[in-house]
Structure 1
Amino acid sequence: MKAGILMRLRGLIRKESLQILRDPSSIAIAFLLPAMLLLLFGYGVSLDAKHVALGIVVEQPSAAAASFTAQFSNSPYFAPRNFPSAAAAQTALSRETIMGFVWLRSDFARRVAARQDPDIGVYVDGINANNARLIENYVQQSWADWITSQADLAGASNPVPIAVEPRIWFNPAVSSRDYLVPGLIAVIMTLTGALLTALVIAREWERGTMEALMVTRVSMHEILISKIIPYFLLGMGGMAVSVTIAVFLFGVPLLGSLLVLTLAASLFMLASLGMGLLISTVAKNQFVAGQIAIITTFLPAFILSGFIFDVGSMPAPIQVITHIVAARYFVSILQSLFLAGTVWSVILPNLLALLLMAIFFLGAARLAARKRLD
């Protein structure tokens, strides 16, 4: 009996492998799709504000004003433009040719020389709230740096009573790309894993090959196992391509264990393949299966996984919903492994959650699958 099962499984797996080699769409989903999406999002999505068009208005030129405005010229965050008056800068701001401007009044140099706080106007376009906050923080940091440098040149004590020396852990360059790319891998692999099984099985229903399998002696267990093994290996190959691109092309550091990463990716891929199998039991049409996969896997992973939007900042009911999104746990593991290392207090609970989700989706797919044509 066991020999017969193993023989049938070997034959089914060989059939799936040959079908993968003859049908380039599966290879494209596993390798080309993750690479293209990773390049597109990796280069196109950024939470950093750099080379911001910033207007500079100096009513009375002076050495102090020139020294302060040089802070913006030497910063990678700003692309300063000089304006003769505040009215001209306001016009440019309303036309969206600049994103904000700094206004130094005519008494700036006199108040600085007298060690009085000068009035500095900072006006920022608040349509994009995220950029507005970043620009405000950048200007404040530039002002604090200039005050410190002026105090050092004068040999006086720092007028700021508290000296802040920030220490940034896990992402010292404060690069949004290093933060986004690991999470992006999880989002992409969610879609890839679900599409690999959902579309392929739906295509078999459309071509009639699934009906041919139904009339053979193979059981539903054997059919599902033969679908999972080849596409699991294919999906893990796509995962390897994604990690390679992240490390060697985007320069994201991989500080954690590669073995732990492989284990986490394996559990996540099984969960994603289980989602695809479950979708395939509902939809026997490739178009419908693709739409369901995008709506039920990719969109929740993109929005509710913590990839971009912080889960802790979401309303409490939404935070509860995020616990059923497998990508949430994989994003947490990837960000820890890439940027912080193998932090077991973070990794173990998420590994357990991925294991439970893989068991749930594969079990649900098996319960929903029936060796019937109706």
Structure 2
Amino acid sequence: MRIRGLIRKEFLQIIRDPSSISIAFILPIILLLIFGYGVNLDAKHIKLGVVQQQPSVESQSFVSRFHRSEYFNTRNYLTVNDGQNAMQTGDIQALLILKSNFAREFHQTDAAPVQLLVNGVDSNTANLINGYVQGTWAEWLIAYGDARGIEFSQPVEQLTRIWFNSEINSRYFLVPGLIAIIMTLIGALLTSLVIAREWERGTMEALLVTPVSIQELLLSKVIPYFVLGMGGMLLSLVMALFLFEVPLRGALAWLLLSSAVFLWVALSMGILISTVGKTQFVAGQIAIIVTFLPAFLLSGFIFDIGSTPLFIQWVTHIVPARYFVALLQTEFLAGDILWVILPNLAALVLMGLVLTLIVLKKSYKRLD
């Protein structure tokens, strides 16, 4: 009966507290809209300048490939100097120069009748532009040879097939990872702030002098925010599937189980933070530094963990969001791949057990 009353009291507090509802339901909507529509890692509509030093049928055929592509917005320049000036002023991102001997030497494997100048300030975009141009060149060579019965000798024939995200849509990559960030905020930040608020208002002291055990008190804090967190997760899932049309190739049961385990870890972290910082300001700062920033930067949400220094890769193993992001991306884009799901899920379970034991050890019914 006591635990039921405490849980009811927490639910009533949540209903009366607009900030809890906002963090659980309004914040996910805002973050998903910002990242889903505002952040795009795809390189499309690239501003490409083209210089044909001696126009020919072959050079026009090659350039027409870029005119018809959704990835490029082409601009023609008469001279190389004009194109380079346009790059310096930021009017174009890359300059494609077709040399005067293009028509004569493009079929020679040791010739380079095409020069590409790329703005390398953004290295990721520069690499994408270089790859797109090389791919367009290879496709045009094949099409040109097939139309004329010419076989171009190539040392390697490249056949490319994109797995898991065949549309190469960065939204499919970002939205599942963002769910991990949202649940980190709901679980760790919200829980730590709410408990710290009770310390500030003196209501926690009133609870500590009651016959309620510390286990009952902690459980009454966890259950309502677990329900709130899963509600926020379901809202994020609905938006991902129906608004952003991210495919869900795995079983919903595995996704919900993974989310529940991660939320358990996040709630445990929030309660542990509240035992250290008993004011909302301190608890909020600790939660951002310890949970949100690592989840954002070291989970693989945006940056590939494998491309980071070895020391950083080791550090990511203590970041719970790393395992949850891997689970989300696997469930959404690849499916029920158990040799990926089970190890990551086991790591989260282990973290949850360790954090729960620490919370129980650090929590006691004393005011000091």
Asked if these proteins are the same fold (TM beyond 0.5), I'd say yes
From 128, 140, 150, the equivalent of 2:144 is 150
Q: 1:328 to 1:114 in 2, by over 3 A?
A: closer
Give the superposition deviation at 1:285. 1.3
Q: Which residue of 2 aligns with 1:105?
A: 99
Give the superposition deviation at 1:114. 8.7
Q: Which residue of 2 aligns with 1:194?
A: 188
Q: Distance in 1 between matches of 2:220 and 2:63?
A: 66
Q: 1:112 to 1:332 in 2, by over 3 A?
A: closer
Q: 1:329 to 1:118 in 2, by over 3 A?
A: closer
From 24, 27, 39, the equivalent of 2:21 is 27
Q: 1:241 and 2:227 equivalent?
A: no
From 314, 318, 329, the equivalent of 2:323 is 329
Give the superposition deviation at 1:118. 5.0
Tell me if structure 1 keeps the 8 A contact 2:248–2:335: yes
Q: Secondary structure at the match of 1:323?
A: helix
Q: Deviations over 1:148-186 (max 9, x none)?
A: 110011022243354322222111112221112111211
Q: Which residue of 2 aligns with 1:185?
A: 179
Residue type at the aligned position of 1:27: I
| Runs of at least 5 residues in structure 1 that lack an aligned partner in the other structure | 1-6
Residue type at the aligned position of 1:50: K
Give the superposition deviation at 1:115. 9.3
Q: Secondary structure at the match of 2:301?
A: coil
From 340, 347, 369, the equivalent of 2:341 is 347
Q: Distance in 2 between matches of 1:322 and 1:165?
A: 34
Residue type at the aligned position of 1:171: N
From 87, 90, 98, the equivalent of 1:96 is 90
Q: Which residue of 1 aligns with 2:168?
A: 174
Q: 1:114 to 1:363 in 2, by over 3 A?
A: closer
Q: 1:363 and 2:361 equivalent?
A: no
Q: 1:302 and 2:296 equivalent?
A: yes
Q: Which residue of 1 aligns with 2:210?
A: 216
Tell me if structure 2 keeps the 8 A contact 1:151–1:159: no
Q: 1:121 and 2:126 equivalent?
A: no
Q: Distance in 2 between matches of 1:265 and 1:114?
A: 56
Q: Deviations over 1:168-216 (max 9, x none)?
A: 2111112221112111211221122112210111111111111111111
Q: Which residue of 1 aligns with 2:248?
A: 254
Tell me if structure 2 keeps the 8 A contact 1:333–1:350: yes
Q: Which residue of 1 aligns with 2:7?
A: 13
Q: Deviations over 1:313-354 (max 9, x none)?
A: 222222111111000110111111001100000000111111
Residue type at the aligned position of 1:271: V
Q: Secondary structure at the match of 1:76?
A: coil
Q: Secondary structure at the match of 1:55?
A: strand
Give the superposition deviation at 1:306. 1.4
- TM-score w.r.t. length of structure 2: 0.96
Q: 1:231 to 1:115 in 2, by over 3 A?
A: closer
Residue type at the aligned position of 1:194: A
Tell me if structure 2 keeps the 8 A contact 1:194–1:273: yes
Q: 1:62 to 1:194 in 2, by over 3 A?
A: same
Give the superposition deviation at 1:21. 0.9
Q: 1:220 to 1:66 in 2, by over 3 A?
A: same
Q: Which residue of 2 aligns with 1:76?
A: 70
Residue type at the aligned position of 1:282: V
Q: 1:115 to 1:318 in 2, by over 3 A?
A: closer
From 119, 130, 133, the equivalent of 2:124 is 130
Q: How many residues align?
A: 368
Q: Secondary structure at the match of 2:318?
A: coil
Give the superposition deviation at 1:258. 0.4
Q: Distance in 1 between matches of 2:131 and 2:109?
A: 23
Identity over the aligned pairs, expressed in percent? 57
Tell me if structure 1 keeps the 8 A contact 2:106–2:113: no
Q: Distance in 1 between matches of 2:197 and 2:187?
A: 16
Q: Secondary structure at the match of 2:229?
A: helix
Tell me if structure 2 keeps the 8 A contact 1:33–1:192: no
Q: Distance in 1 between matches of 2:42 and 2:203?
A: 50
From 198, 207, 211, the equivalent of 2:201 is 207
Tell me if structure 1 keeps the 8 A contact 2:109–2:154: no
Give the superposition deviation at 1:146. 0.7
Q: Distance in 2 between matches of 1:120 and 1:9?
A: 74
From 56, 61, 71, the equivalent of 1:62 is 56
Q: Distance in 2 between matches of 1:116 and 1:225?
A: 72
Tell me if structure 2 keeps the 8 A contact 1:329–1:353: yes
From 201, 220, 225, the equivalent of 2:219 is 225
Q: Distance in 2 between matches of 1:365 and 1:114?
A: 70
Q: Distance in 1 between matches of 2:250 and 2:107?
A: 52
Tell me if structure 1 keeps the 8 A contact 2:48–2:94: yes
Q: 1:265 to 1:92 in 2, by over 3 A?
A: same
The alignment yields a C-alpha RMSD, in angstroms, of: 1.6
Tell me if structure 1 keeps the 8 A contact 2:208–2:366: yes
